[in-house]
Amino acid sequence: MTHPSWVRPHLRQQLALLDTHGNPRTPQDLTQHDCMVFRDRDAPFGTWKLKGPQRWETVTVTGSLASNDSDVALRWCLEGRGIVMMADWNVDQELADGRLVRVLPKWSQPADVWAVTVARSDQSAKVRVCIEYLKRELAVGEYALIPPDDLKHGLGSARSGGSGQM
């Protein structure tokens, strides 16, 4: 396994839901909204650790729905069932056509992206070339997973380096 980069999932909400429930202005405002917890990591259930412009903030969110399937969570969000945290690639089309909007756009939660290979395949020249390609593509440009401002401030480099990591 190698660690190529990390992604910055953002909070999303159906546009019509903002009209009825209001727009959260701070991470703590999320405690007054239905949030869908996406179970995909080892973080404590319902705890979102968000990186903002000046600081980190931890908020415990609640809601009636939780899933470990991004398609299900997205469908629920589109149905107006609450706020969900998802990476851009999961919701590009929905953001583009206005079905979803970002909530607290200056706040996000880092998440690791791993390249999983079979044992010892990292010794293969083909696998090494592929991983190096992914590192480049995910670091800058159209498919970058780390916002350019984070690279300027060294936030992306904290996860890179070391043996076997991207």
User: 129: exposed, middle or buried (C-beta count within 10 Å: 0-12, 13-18, 19+)?
Assistant: exposed
| pLDDT of the residue at 126 | 87
Residue 128 φ/ψ, nearest 5 degrees: -60, -45
- Determine contact, residues 7/87, Cβ cutoff 8 Å: yes
Q: Which residue in 39, 164, 30 sits closest to 107, CA to CA?
A: 30
Report how many helices (DSSP H) and strands (DSSP E) the chain contains, helices first: 5, 9
pTM confidence score: 0.68
Q: Collect the ranges in the chain with pLDDT lower than 70.
A: 1-21, 39-43, 119, 121-122, 141-166
| pLDDT of the residue at 55 | 92
**pLDDT tens track for 42-76:** 667 888 888 888 999 999 998 889 888 889 988 99
